[in-house]
Structures are given as structure tokens and as C-alpha cells.
Amino acid sequence: MTGVPVLSVRNIRRSFGEHAALDGVSLDVAQGEVVAVIGPSGSGKSTLVRCVHQLEPIDSGAMYLDGELLGHEHAGDRVRPLPPRRVAEQRRRMGMVFQQFQLFPHWTVTRNITEAQVRVHGRDRAQAHERAVELLAKVGLADKADAYSRQLSGGQQQRVAIARALATRPRIMLLDEPTSALDPELVDEVLTVIRDLAAAGLTMIIVTHEIAFALEVADRFVFMDRGRVVEQGPVADVLGDGRSDRLRAFLSRYTQQRGSAREEGARV
């Protein structure tokens, strides 16, 4: 695919004290592309998506959404941080799904999906409601419209969270380990929803430990370790001989673990 990438991350760094959680990460995501980010725990995957969504500041580098600089504006020959209101405007063009769902427990499922449309995008309630109905049907939860999040299973909560993120038609979706907090038997219902989104051509970055799933839906994978992108490329290459030793070690450890977990687990 040609043209300006939807998201372009250029050599970003983010440190917590001495420790560099992101140590010069670059990444482009083209329109309609699904990128799977894999890597061991603590390698900086969450920090990467949080920085892209501007929930964390970056120390250096730059990020662009549809060619527009994220978080900063040009002022003379340098750049300066955007005011919070403009940052909020930029965030509205991205959707985020968290490992711990983070539905708003004091609102019903429908209100979770409509509130940002109304307050942030200025749609009227009826329109927002229509969209909520449509999205809930899409994630298979039409009957849960009036439930509160604590009345739902983890898998159902995550499907609502995905619907909520989709409600405002984001340019790109960022999913941070969307199935890691779920009981094994609930993973598939969420993966099915994500698979449908990929098939519909939504641009996504998915941080995941579901290697088999990543191989299936992703166009490209990014392997991170210790704050760096160690390897990235088309999914086919993961299976090829070109992979690094670190990736090889990670994959073998992971497929082993997952394999045994699955045999024990309640998966049918």
C-alpha cells in the first residue's frame, strides 16, 4: 500500500528514571493494515501503545497520525507541546482497548458506548443510540444493552469495550493484550470480534500473546525486546529462517507454554 501511513512512529524513546522502556522505536502502519506486536513481558509493548495514544509523554522522537504531528505543533523553527484540548482532539481519532477492559462501571453498556459520541463528537443522543445498537449487535451483545459492566463476564466486557472504541469510527485501533485477562474459554469470543474487524479492513495495532491468532489475522508482526524493535516484517517471515535467535527463543517458549496451558485448560 502506498501513500501516507495512518500511523508513523519515528525513533521514540520513553524512560522511567534510568530505565528506558522504549529505546528508539520506529514503526509505520498503513491504511487497513493489522500489525501484531509480540514480545516478552516488560519489553515495552504497553508503553508503546500508551505513548501512541498520548497517555504517556515521549522523551524524544516523533509520531504522526495521517501525516499530522501528534502531541506537538510547529512554533518557529522548533515544536512545542499542544494544549490539552488539542491533544484530546487527536485522541478522538484513535480507539484504545485495554487489557483490563476499563468499562465505566457507573454507566450501562449503552451509555458506555454513547457518551463519547455525544459529549466529544457532538452527535445527538438518538443517533448515538442507533450506533450503539448496531455495534452491540455486531459484537453479539444486543441483549446486554441495559446491563452494568459488573454484571457481564470478562469476555462480554471486552466485547463492549471494543464496541465503545469503535463507536466514534477511529482511524486506527490500538489493542493492548485484549485477551490476557480472560479465562481461557472466553478468549475465542473476543478474538472472533477482532477477526471480523480485521476482515472489514480496520487499521489496527494488536499487542498479543496469542501467537496463532496473530499469525492468522496480522499482515505484519513487530517483535519487541527490552524497549527495542528487534525484528519486524510480513507475517510469512516469522515462519521463515530469517528470524533472530531471540525471536526463535521467544516463540518456542511461548508455543510450549500455550500448548500445555491449552491441554490443561477448558478449551473445547
Ligand X SMILES: Nc1ncnc2c1ncn2[C@@H]1O[C@H](COP(=O)(O)OP(=O)(O)O)[C@@H](O)[C@H]1O
Choosing among ligand X, another protein, Mg ion, none, which partner's interface includes residue 107 (Cβ < 5 to 8 Å by kind)? another protein
Nearest CB to another protein, comparing residues 131 and 243 = 131
Say how far apart CA 18 and CA 28 lie, in whole Å.
27
Compute the radius of gyration of the chain from its Cα atoms: 19
What residues line the site for another protein (CB under 8 A)? 50, 53, 55, 84-85, 88-89, 91-92, 94-96, 98, 100, 102-108, 115-116, 119-121, 148-151, 164-165, 168
Between 141 and 175, name the residue whose CB sits nearer to Mg ion.
175
Helix (H) or strand (E) run with residue 181 in it: none
Question: In 3D, which of 36, 25, 71, 11 has the Cα closest to residue 173?
Answer: 36
Largest CA distance in the chain: 61
From the list 257, 191, 241, 243, the residue with the least C-alpha distance to 40 is 257
C-beta of 29 vs 167, nearer to another protein: 167
Q: At its nearest, how many Å lie between Mg ion and the CB of residue 115? A: 26
Contact 180, 192 (CB under 8 A): no
28: DSSP letter: E
Q: Which cell is 83 given?
A: 494544549
x-or-dash pattern for ligand X, window 27-56, by CB under 6 A? ------------x-xxxxxxx---------
Of 96 and 187, the one with the shorter C-beta distance to another protein is 96
Nearest distance in Å: CB 208, ligand X: 11
CA distance 130 to 146: 14
Nearer to ligand X, 8 or 47 (CB): 47
- Residues of this chain that bind ligand X (CB under 6 A): 16, 21, 39, 41-47
- Residues of this chain that bind Mg ion (CB under 5 A): 46
